[in-house]
Amino acid sequence: MTEPAHHHAPASAIEQRVAALEEVLTEKGLVTPEFIDGVVGLYENDIGPLNGAKVVARAWIDPEYHERLLHDGTAAIAELGFGGPEGQHLVVVENADDVHNVVVCTLCSCYPWPVLGLPPVWYKSPPYRARMVREPRTLLRELGVDLPESVEIRVWDSSAEVRYLVLPQRPAGTDGHGEEELAALVTRDAMIGVARP
């Protein structure tokens, strides 16, 4: 149980290989440092779970947006300016008092990049991918979401082209909150379904 989720091979060997690959591809004109820096910067600085949090907060305060979001996630999310790779077909699944949704990709690492950024290591790890479809109740409890048996759990395995975003329930006691204040409550893990805001 203490096994780390990721096992690094000796860093020097990997670094050497990646550097060699980049040198060869650069020489051949197949990659450029500028493009690499640009796309890396995009996902380190601009595209991340703050986008998804804005979507969730808007859905919490605007009933018409909420309806559009559940009807056509891709279009409603595009209204806020978010879309692109790994987000061409977005489906939003909503939690309720008696339903909890959670997302996994058992085959690899599919994840809604435009709204959550790049997936964390644990989401891509074999234990999460193996266990979430088979014992979600147990795994969610281990992760701090202890659901009574009266709450149905729906696991979404994103094995084709759709990428899923969980719409968590608005926390109690937030009636007076504005949109930004609400967005600040929404975590990445709540939008995957392994936490609650």
For another protein, the binding residues in 52-81 under the rule CB under 8 A are none
Q: Is 7 an interacting residue with respect to another protein (CB under 8 A)? A: yes
71-80 CB contacts, 8 Å cutoff, 24+ apart:
73/165, 77/114, 77/115, 77/165, 80/51, 80/54, 80/55
* Nearest Cα residue to 129 out of 160, 162, 107, 159: 107
Contacting another protein (CB under 8 A), which of 62, 67, 79, 142?
Answer: 142
CB atoms near residue 174 (< 10 Å): 14
Q: Is 172 an interacting residue with respect to another protein (CB under 8 A)? A: no
Please tell me the count of residues contacting another protein according to CB under 8 A. 80
Q: What residues act catalytically?
A: 105, 108-110
CB of 182 to another protein, least distance (A): 21
Of 125 and 174, the one with the shorter C-beta distance to another protein is: 125
CB of 76 to another protein, least distance (A): 16
Q: Are strands 90-94 and 163-167 parallel, antiparallel or unpaired?
A: parallel
Phi-psi region of 182 (alpha: psi -120 to 50; beta: other; left: phi over 0): alpha
Stretch touching another protein by CB under 8 A, among 51-59, 63-71, 159-167, 174-182 = 159-167
CB of 175 to another protein, least distance (A): 30
Q: 47 and 117 in contact (C-beta within 8 Å)?
A: yes
Q: Which amino acid makes up residue 7?
A: H
Q: Is 97 an interacting residue with respect to another protein (CB under 8 A)? A: no
Q: Is 187 an interacting residue with respect to another protein (CB under 8 A)? A: no
CA separation for the pair 80, 170 (Å, rounded)? 20
Of 56 and 93, the one with the shorter C-beta distance to another protein is: 93
Of 80 and 153, the one with the shorter C-beta distance to another protein is: 153
CB of 61 to another protein, least distance (A): 27
